[in-house]
Structure 1
Amino acid sequence: MTFETQNIPVAIDARMLGSHGTGVATYAQALRDAINACAAEPFHVVDRTCSHGLRSSGHIERWYRWCSAWSDRPRTLTPRAQTFWGRDIFRLGQVYFDRHGSLLDLEVKNPPGIVHWTYPLPVRLAGWINVYTVHDAIPLNAPELTPIDGRRHRALLKAIIASNGRVMTVSEAARRDIVDALGCSETSVSTCLSGLSASVDHPTMLPAGLLPGTFFLAVGSVEPRKNLSRLVEAYQASGVPHPLVIAGPRGWQCEAIEAFIAKTPGVVRLSSVSRDQLLTLLTAARALLFPSLAEGFGLPIAEAMTLGTPVLTSRIAATSEIAGGAALLVNPESAADIQAAIRRLSVDDRLRSELATAGRERARAFTVEAFGARLKSFHARLLEDEGWINRRTTLSAIS
């Protein structure tokens, strides 16, 4: 690490750091670990109303927030140890954006640096280089696959770019999709391939009746984007003797999908699994089946490969990129194609062994250390673009 970059403070929003079970939460934790690997311990931007688990807003709180959003004064964060404390800043930011169409300014009496927002939030830390992770372009180019309001999301991303915010995304495929959807310049969006930590530190017992290597696994929220209805249809038609385990919470528009899953023989539904249980299932599965219709990254692919589990995934831009030639690719819109691939994974142990070996090699790109190295290079480019490296070097020389 250069002298110039190691002295630049880095912060991260802490909204998702204590959460589990979502891709954004896993990403936030990996980003924090990567910052630790490439810089000093990051400052955490904390909203007291989130961290204290306060009850949902009542009418008075919502009315107060609506009135407070009239003011365009910056909201002050209080520095304490490695934390920048604010109150109601994230929800107020949403209301402020709805009223003004711009980002809510935050300020803190600390030397400026780089702040990472793990999701596109309508806030900015004044005087800092603000980096917003946009995980995919699905609300923009496939709004039928998400409950997110695509028009508002588009307006927010444009406001972020207009405020000189830096957009970072998790794959080159996602970057191209975001640039195309927004019609922005190529330089407005940067790729920093994500990483993860997927070691099974606390293995759990498998559910009754499941043995290692005897079941297929699908993971993720039950929602149309995950293509589970077509996967279950293909599994049923394949006639393989191995159970299909579907692990993940109920999601958007899940009712019909859940009903189809429930009536299909051989399918085991696990709606509530901990992080340790998920990693135990991934380690023990015969293969991960992940024929998603749209992704920005495809976290389960990287997790399975890290754990040495063969992967079946979609022949679409993002998942193909993350698989890196180490997965069995299928047309996600063809039940017949998925069915044939399931049959191959059921009987072809040589194929499974080859996929597992190739997957472990590919997974080296997703370690926290590799993520940290990419992040370090990204930070250096940011500081050079902003002229901060030379400025800090000059100030250090003077002092």
Structure 2
Amino acid sequence: MRIGYLTYGLDRYPTGIGRYATELLKGFYALPESPDIVLLTTEQEDKAGLWNHFEHYPLTGCRLLPALMAIGNLALSRASLKYKLDLIHDPNGIAPFFGHAAGVARVVTIHDAFTYIYPEKHNWLDNWRYKYYFPHTARKADAVITVSNCSKQDIIRYLKLDPDKVFVIPEGVGADFIAQPEGKKRRQILERYGIKKPYLLYVGAINGRKNLEGLLSAYALLLLRYPDLNLTIVGKRQWKTGGVETALQRLKLENRINFTGYIEDGHLPDIYSAAEVFVFPSLYEGFGLPPLEAMSCGVPVVTSNVGSLPEVVGSAGLMVDPYDVPSLVDAIEKAMIDSELKARLIKKGFERVAGFTWENAAAKTFEVYRKLSKI
């Protein structure tokens, strides 16, 4: 079975979806029996280091998202014929499947339904894509993979998809995300990014959905009792960040928060491991990989009780209403100062993440491919 695997945007700053696309490929590579993967690439260079491991061909003219949406189906159809593909998988959630399938099965991974739930917190292209594009293209897929039961229910509800063709396959935690010892390497990494201990940590995109205004409000209250406590926010600024800027000014925190920007994956385990508490108060997630990465690095987690986060984190983290700032403050404080609770959360975190591996995700995805090959 030859699988055309669409890669998009991997020559730019990696996102959570980009990590999913690359880690799933590595999971395939590790399987005892794996599909024959053919990369259909939109990138100009191989920053993810995949091209040496897989057969790969460019999709000319499809590097930018509007172009991929417009001519992607034609490019994929031609590629399926030229390279004798049996199935095409788009792991990016773009689904450029508005035309003829050229005789191949088509699979798309749709990671969440965020723009249906919080359209005011997203950019116009995502809102347009989910409102007008997806309802037509996603239905043309032979199978839809998503990463949580929460996402499955939202996708079925808003896209009116057949539940039998939507498969839940959770993401995994990369093997590099393990607890790192204190030492020279960690000190050098923290110094490089200006991170000062003790600190709370957030890792993820910076946009309106992530509820960083709530995190800043909670941090301002914690500073009244813990004036030496720092807050490090790791991630790239995206859209709808005006509320963050306003909160910084209102709370007079402009000089107290360390916004590191993007940090390469190789440095993240040390940054996770040195944190007092990992805080992830997002309003909605299709999965929520950073809390699992923090758990895997031995850090107690405080997160939201909404979206997919309860089914991902389970009882291994403290969960609160993301709109309830006093409850967020209370949970962070308990995770910091209650040594028994902290030890229990860390132990439960290690147990929890053991069930989330990319090899498991790849094996379950391969089963979807096999099922479609028999239809």
What TM-score does the superposition give when structure 2 sets the normalisation length? 0.83
How many angstroms does 1:330 deviate by? 0.7
Match in the other structure for 1:78: none
Match in the other structure for 2:87: 114
How many angstroms does 1:209 deviate by? 5.9
How many angstroms does 1:333 deviate by? 0.8
Q: Contact 1:261–1:269 at 8 Å: present in 2 too? A: no
**Residue-pair matches, total:** 343
How far apart in 2 are the matches of 1:256 and 1:89?
A: 34
Aligned-residue sequence identity (percent) comes to: 26
1:318 to 1:197, Cα distance in 2 relative to 1, 3 A? same
1:306 to 1:20, Cα distance in 2 relative to 1, 3 A? farther
Runs of 5+ unmatched residues, structure 1? 1-7, 54-80, 387-399
How far apart in 1 are the matches of 2:74 and 2:164?
A: 21
Matched, 1:192 2:169: yes
Matched, 1:131 2:107: yes
What is the SS of the residue equivalent to 2:189?
coil
Query: Could you tell me which amino acid in structure 2 is paired with residue 132 of structure 1?
Result: V
How many angstroms does 1:133 deviate by? 1.1
Match in the other structure for 1:86: 59
Deviations 1:180-215 (A, max 9, x none): 11222212322111123151599652135624xx32
Instruction: Provide the alpha-carbon RMSD of the alignment.
Output: 2.6
How many angstroms does 1:24 deviate by? 1.2
Of residues 34, 55, 70, the one that matches 1:95 is 70
Deviations 1:77-98 (A, max 9, x none): xxxx81133211354342359x
Match in the other structure for 1:226: 210
Matched, 1:10 2:11: no
How far apart in 1 are the matches of 2:76 and 2:360?
A: 33
Q: 5 Å matches for 1:102-251?
A: 106-107=77-78, 108-124=81-97, 126-147=102-123, 148-199=125-176, 205-207=189-191, 208=194, 210-211=196-197, 214-238=198-222, 239-240=225-226, 241-251=228-238
How far apart in 1 are the matches of 2:153 and 2:348?
A: 26
How many angstroms does 1:150 deviate by? 2.8
What is the SS of the residue equivalent to 2:89?
strand
What TM-score does the superposition give when structure 1 sets the normalisation length? 0.78
Q: Using the TM superposition, name which of 19-28 and 338-347 deviates more.
A: 19-28
How many angstroms does 1:322 deviate by? 0.8
Match in the other structure for 1:77: none
How many angstroms does 1:15 deviate by? 1.8
1:117 to 1:15, Cα distance in 2 relative to 1, 3 A? same
Match in the other structure for 1:45: 40
1:19 to 1:52, Cα distance in 2 relative to 1, 3 A? closer
How many angstroms does 1:41 deviate by? 5.5
Match in the other structure for 2:181: none
How many angstroms does 1:277 deviate by? 2.7
How far apart in 1 are the matches of 2:75 and 2:143?
A: 16
1:26 to 1:19, Cα distance in 2 relative to 1, 3 A? farther
1:112 to 1:251, Cα distance in 2 relative to 1, 3 A? closer
1:320 to 1:301, Cα distance in 2 relative to 1, 3 A? same
Matched, 1:30 2:11: no
What is the SS of the residue equivalent to 1:370?
helix
Q: Contact 2:6–2:40 at 8 Å: present in 1 too? A: yes
Match in the other structure for 1:348: 338
1:361 to 1:52, Cα distance in 2 relative to 1, 3 A? closer
How far apart in 2 are the matches of 1:221 and 1:161?
A: 25
Match in the other structure for 1:392: none
Matched, 1:252 2:223: no
How far apart in 1 are the matches of 2:284 and 2:152?
A: 14
Higher gyration radius (CA)? 1
How many angstroms does 1:138 deviate by? 0.7
Q: 5 Å matches for 1:251-290?
A: 251-258=238-245, 260-261=247-248, 263-264=252-253, 266-290=256-280
Runs of 5+ unmatched residues, structure 2? 47-53, 179-184
How far apart in 1 are the matches of 2:287 and 2:205?
A: 15
What is the SS of the residue equivalent to 2:137?
helix
Match in the other structure for 1:363: 353
1:16 to 1:283, Cα distance in 2 relative to 1, 3 A? farther
How far apart in 2 are the matches of 1:15 and 1:130?
A: 16
How many angstroms does 1:19 deviate by? 4.1
Q: Using the TM superposition, name which of 36-45 and 345-354 deviates more.
A: 36-45
How many angstroms does 1:175 deviate by? 0.6
Match in the other structure for 1:62: none
Deviations 1:245-279 (A, max 9, x none): 11112221224413533732643222242222333
How many angstroms does 1:105 deviate by? 5.3
How far apart in 1 are the matches of 2:211 and 2:115?
A: 17
How far apart in 1 are the matches of 2:287 and 2:267?
A: 22
How many angstroms does 1:172 deviate by? 1.0
